[in-house]
Structure 1
Amino acid sequence: MIFKNGEGFKPDEIIQNTPQDLAQIQLNAYNAKDIESFLAVYSNDVEVYEFPDKLLYKGIEKMRETYQPFFKSSPELHCKLVNRIVNGNYVIDQELITGNPRKPEINATAMYEVDGGLIKKIWFLKLP
């Protein structure tokens, strides 16, 4: 609790995470395979796309259904941040993902759109 002029506030009521903070929080949670922390930075109606406009799924519960079993079946899963670009409320991450049982090494690019202090949309660039 933070107090200002005798009034109490929760820290997130005063200081909001930046888009870069949100991208890093979800990356850290992904690497820890912590589904609750991972989902905490996403909007309830998050939209996940294959770039540029193919909707893969929508909603936090669908995201949970996708990632929870993946985390459990991939104990060695790790995402290394290779490069990050931040432009306003957009974050673009170039990543190297290892430990996926189906594909040992994946070069990936993800773009996140932040709105209202949460990640609202994600686009994954599908590489050959």
Structure 2
Amino acid sequence: MKNVLFLFILLNFSIGFSQTESPEKIVQIQLEAYNNRNIDAFLATYDDNIKIYDFPNTLSYEGKEKMRKIYSSLFKEVPNLLCEIKKRIIIGNKVIDEEYVRVNNEFVSAVAIYEVKNNKIIKVTFIH
């Protein structure tokens, strides 16, 4: 009985441990999906109740379905969409990216502050 209990605890610990990704990894997966214009992979990194803010605290929109509408259009309409990271800072569960974004022939600099909880991005604040 002790062996069965030990195996059960060990299995549960290893499953829970292997399913946890660092905030940096989650944000990097999101970035790669964005650059590949893969809407499903992109949205898989976000919480269903994602909140998007303009700095310092103006709510721009919330919810994954709203995000799907916005980014589906962007991915379809901008074939050369690309985001490059100029600098990345990680502080706890927050990832701060200095981004250089190409949209058609226009380039935009921005900062994105991602907050990650339970392997999902729950909040993004943009400074642009």
TM range (shorter): 0.7 to 0.9
1:115 shift after superposition: 1.2
Match of 2:22 among 18, 32, 36: 18
Aligned residue number for residue 117 of structure 2: 115
1:48 aligns with 2:49: no
The residue correspondences of 1:1-128 to structure 2 (distance < 5 A) are 5=7, 13-15=16-18, 16-98=20-102, 100-101=103-104, 104-126=106-128
The alignment yields a C-alpha RMSD, in angstroms, of: 2.0
Note the alpha carbon deviations across 1:36-90, whole angstroms, 9 max, x for none.
0000010000000001110010100000011000010010011111000000000
Q: What residue ranges of structure 2 are gaps of 5+ in the alignment?
A: 1-6
In structure 2, distance between residues paired with 1:17 and 1:31: 20
Amino acid at match of 2:55: F
Give the structure with the higher percent helix: 2
SS in 2 for 1:56: strand
1:108 shift after superposition: 1.1
In structure 2, distance between residues paired with 1:49 and 1:12: 34
| TM-score, reference length from structure 2 | 0.86
Total equivalences in the alignment: 120
In structure 1, distance between residues paired with 2:100 and 2:15: 31
Q: What residue ranges of structure 1 are gaps of 5+ in the alignment?
A: none
In structure 2, distance between residues paired with 1:58 and 1:86: 24
Give the structure with the higher percent strand: 1
| TM-score, reference length from structure 1 | 0.86
1:14 shift after superposition: 3.2
